[in-house]
Amino acid sequence: MRTAEFPVLAFHRNALYMAWNEARGDHSHLRLARSINQGASWSLRWLTGGDADEAQPALSGDREGLHVLFYSIAPTSPNRLIDVAVLDSTDGATFQSRRVTNRSFPGVLNIQQFDPLIAPYYMGDYLANVSDGTRQYFAWGDNRDQVRNWLYPNGRHDPNVYFATR
C-alpha cells in the first residue's frame, strides 16, 4: 500500500501526543511523541516493532485514555492480509492492542487503477478515530468487498468504508 508519514495529534491528561508511521529496517512501524510543555520539547518512542507492518495511525484521547487506530499487515498471512487494530493506554505509556476489524482484507494491486488519475497500489489513508468521552468511533477503508461487472466478470476487490464502535 502507498503510505505517507502523516502525523496525527491528540491531547490526553495535559499532554500533547503525536503519532505517525516510520520505516524501521524493512518494515513500517508506529512512533509516538509526547510533549508536556505545549510542543517545546518531545519524548519519542516506538509503539510497534517486529516482522509485521503498521501504518497510517489515527489518534484520539479521552478520559479513558489514549487510543491509536492503525492498519496492521501480518507478514505470515497469505497475501499479507490487513487488519485494523487499536492500541489503548490509560497512562500514555503502557499500551494494549486489540483487533477492530471482524475480517481481514487484502491489499489490492490496482493496475489498471480503478481511477486512472490515482497512483497504482492506492489504499488511501482513510482511518478515523474519535471519542465522545464515553464511546470510541472508528472508520476505515477496507478492500473486502467484491465487484463483478462487465469490466471485471471474475470480480475484483473494491474499496469501501467500514465502521465500528466501542
pLDDT digits (tens, 9 = 90+) for 31-84: 999 999 999 999 999 999 998 899 999 999 998 899 999 999 888 766 678 899
Q: Is residue 19 included in any domain, yes or no?
A: yes
Q: Is residue 1 part of a domain?
A: no
Structural domain boundaries enclosing 137:
8-165
Residue 6 has pLDDT above 80, yes or no: yes
- Residue 64 in any domain: the answer is yes
pLDDT score, position 43: 96
Q: Measuring CA to CA, which residue among 53, 55, 60 is closest to residue 18?
A: 60
Q: Is residue 29 part of a domain?
A: yes
As a whole number, mean pLDDT of residues 22-34 equals 91
Q: How many CA atoms lie within 13 A of 93 on its CB side?
A: 3
- The SS3 of residue 32 is strand
In a domain, 62, yes or no: yes
Q: Is residue 3 part of a domain?
A: no
The pLDDT confidence band at residue 125, using thresholds 50, 70 and 90, is low
- The count of structural domains within the chain is 1
Which has more pLDDT, 113 or 143? Answer: 143
Residue 47 is assigned to a structural domain of this protein: yes
| CATH number of the domain encompassing residue 67 | 2.120.10.10
Peptide bond into 146 cis (omega under 30): no
Q: Is 2 contained in some domain?
A: no
